[in-house]
Amino acid sequence: MSPRISVWISNSVFVSFAVISLFYSLVYLENSQLQSATKTLNEERNRSFAIVQELSRVKNQFPIAYQCHYSFGLSNGSLYEITERIPYSIYKRLRLGDTIEVYKKEIRIFGKQTAISRIKGNEESLPLLENLERYFQYGFVYLLVLVGVTSLTRVLGLLSQTYPSQQKPDATDEIVVNKSQD
């Protein structure tokens, strides 16, 4: 491999590392804001009502899980729909079209206005951006290892590289061609 190609590869790894670091920090900050909003969700001032749109059982999952799909209005007048995982005790009380008590909060995620909510009495965890954060964290660690390997390769390559001598050749070093005529 020529030195030009290895420099190109290592520079690509450095740029990829910078990009994934930027995305990871962005997702980490958004997820931490989402977690802080979730902690203050169960306050009395966030209480509202929603209408049950759909009840379903999640297939191929053990233990058996249930979902409730409900909708409520936002402050700007639009209707917002949420799907939430619920325990069986709440599932057996609900019917389609029922009005349920929820805690809701309007927030901004990645600059987009959205809402988070939870049915009153539900203790299931809310789906946050943890999977996305974990994905970028693994990419960050992977590229950090690649940056280390390419940096080590570049340093070792520079240390082992030989440079031509800057001395002027002596008269004995010249090759003399014997010109003989036949």
> Is residue 21 pLDDT above 60, yes or no?
yes
Q: What is the pLDDT of residue 53?
A: 93
CB atoms within 10 A of CB 84: 19
Residue 44 class from Cβ within 10 Å (0-12 exposed, 13-18 middle, 19+ buried)?
A: exposed
pLDDT classification of 77: cutoffs 50, 70, 90: confident
Pull the structure tokens for residue 41.
Answer: 């969700």
Alpha-carbon 95 to chain mean position: 37
Non-local CB neighbours of 70 within 8 Å, separated by 6+ positions? 50, 51, 52, 53, 81, 82, 84, 100, 102, 119
pLDDT confidence of residue 102 = 92
* pLDDT tens, residue by residue, 80-121: 898 888 888 888 999 999 999 999 998 888 788 888 888 988
Mean pLDDT of 174-179: 58
Please state which of the ranges 31-35, 57-61, 102-106, 140-144 shows the lowest mean pLDDT: 57-61
Single pTM value for the model? 0.61
Q: Quick one: 143 exposed, middle or buried, by C-beta within 10 A (0-12, 13-18, 19+)?
A: buried
**Which pLDDT belongs to residue 176?**
56
Please confirm whether the linkage preceding 63 is cis (ω < 30° from 0).
Answer: yes
Q: Tell me the residue type at 39.
A: K
State which amino acid sits at residue 149: V
> Which class is 12-133 in CATH?
mainly beta
Q: What residue segments make up the domains of the chain, in order of their start?
A: 12-133
Q: What is the pLDDT of residue 42?
A: 85
Confidence band (pLDDT; 50, 70, 90) for 167?
low
Predicted local confidence at residue 170, as pLDDT: 58
Most distant pair of Cα atoms in the chain: their distance:
116
Strands, DSSP E only, in the chain?
A: 47-58, 65-73, 79-86, 99-109, 112-119
> Can you tell me the distance from the alpha carbon of 152 to that of 159, in angstroms, rounded to the nearest whole number?
11
Pair of tokens at residue 176: 């003399």
- CA distance between the termini of the chain: 48
